Amino acid sequence: MTATELLAHYAEGKRDFSYADLRSTGLRGANLRSVDMSYADLRGANLSLADLRGANLRGADLSDANLRGANLCGADLRSADLSDADLSDARTWKGWKIVPE
Model pLDDT for residues 28-67, shown as the tens digit of each residue: 999 999 999 999 999 999 999 999 999 999 999 999 999 9
**How far is it, in rounded angstroms, from Cα 80 to Cα 68?**
16
**How far is it, in rounded angstroms, from Cα 12 to Cα 22?**
19
Stated length of the chain: 101
Helix (H, G, I), strand (E, B) or coil at 9: helix
Q: What CATH number does domain 1-101 carry, 2.40.10.410, 2.160.20.80, 3.30.930.10, 2.40.100.10?
A: 2.160.20.80
pLDDT at 91: 86
pTM comes to: 0.88
pLDDT at 47: 98
Q: Percentage of the chain with pLDDT > 70?
A: 91
Three-point CA angle 65, 19, 99, nearest 5°: 30
pLDDT at 95: 53
Better-scored residue on pLDDT, 60 or 94? 60
